[in-house]
Amino acid sequence: MAKKWGQRVRSWMTKHMELPQDVMMDLPRITMIGQIHIYIENHRGLITFSDKELRLLLKQGQLLVKGKGFVIKTILPEEILLEGKIDQVIYLSE
């Protein structure tokens, strides 16, 4: 019950106070430049990384990025910049 109420409050605040949904709803923000760069903010941690796959933990679910020649250019506690040829970005629900 408290979880639903909290979601309603965040939704109302986002709508009426013109706050960004990604901030209020604790969603990831994903910025891609073509197929060569992907910048992901508001993740919960790195699960797996190889030159062909990146998997991140989100508040709800996981984010899977598939491609080739991956290199992590920047990694911070809640942000990551990945470079390479990006073929797929997949949201995995729990």
Q: 79: how many CB neighbours lie within 10 A of its CB?
A: 13
Contact 82, 65 (CB under 8 A): yes
- In this prediction, residues 1-8 reach a mean pLDDT of 64
User: d(Cα 48, Cα 13) in Å, to the nearest integer?
Assistant: 35
What residue spans define the domains of the chain?
Answer: 26-92
Contact 35, 67 (CB under 8 A): yes
Tell me, what's the pLDDT at 56? 97
- Report pLDDT digits (tens) over 22-63: 555 678 999 999 999 999 999 999 999 999 999 999 998 999
Q: How confident is the model at residue 20 (pLDDT cuts 50, 70, 90)?
A: low
**pTM of the predicted protein model:** 0.76
Q: Which CATH number fits domain 26-92: 3.40.190.10, 2.40.160.50, 2.60.40.2000, 2.60.40.10?
A: 2.60.40.2000
The more confident residue out of 17 and 3 is: 17
